[in-house]
Amino acid sequence: MSNDEHSGERTAPALVPACDPGTLAEAGELLRALAAPVRIAIVLQLRAGERCVHELVDALGVAQPLISQHLRVLKTAGVVSGHRNGREVVYRLVDDHLAHIVVDAVAHAEEDSAEETTPAGDAAQAT
């Protein structure tokens, strides 16, 4: 053990440079756009490849007007883009960083759920 650990003293964490307030605001808007279960499901679908609205409706079991509304929010936030292919608009993710955010959030939620349903998790909650 170091002297700091023996004395109970803690060293100060390294300072992280402050981000530009505009950048923080944009990040907040992005996270708000992703903060709906249907939009998360849409991002996960688009992670696998481009989809048109009817494919998302079929995959997610959500009504077409609701899918279109959520796609509009994601498009406004710069998460997805769409291009016309005949009568349909085909949507895709703007970049893979966004998919990583969603995949990591889902994985984290699944880990928390698994801990809550395991016997060890039940014992930990009982204490």
Alpha-carbon span 56 to 40, nearest angstrom? 12
Q: What three-state secondary structure class fits 96?
A: helix
pLDDT in tens, 61-116: 999 999 999 999 999 999 999 999 999 999 999 988 888 999 999 999 999 777 77
Residue ranges covered by each domain of the chain: 30-112
User: Which pLDDT score is estimated for 126?
Assistant: 47
Choose between 30 and 112: higher pLDDT.
30
Separation in Å, CA 88 to CA 47, 62, 82: 19, 18, 10
Question: From the centroid of its chain, how far is CA 77?
Answer: 13
Q: Tell the CATH topology of 30-112.
A: Arc Repressor Mutant, subunit A (1.10.10)
DSSP 62: -
Query: In the 8-state DSSP scheme, what is residue 127?
Result: -
Spatial contact of 53 and 71, defined as CB atoms under 8 Å apart:
yes
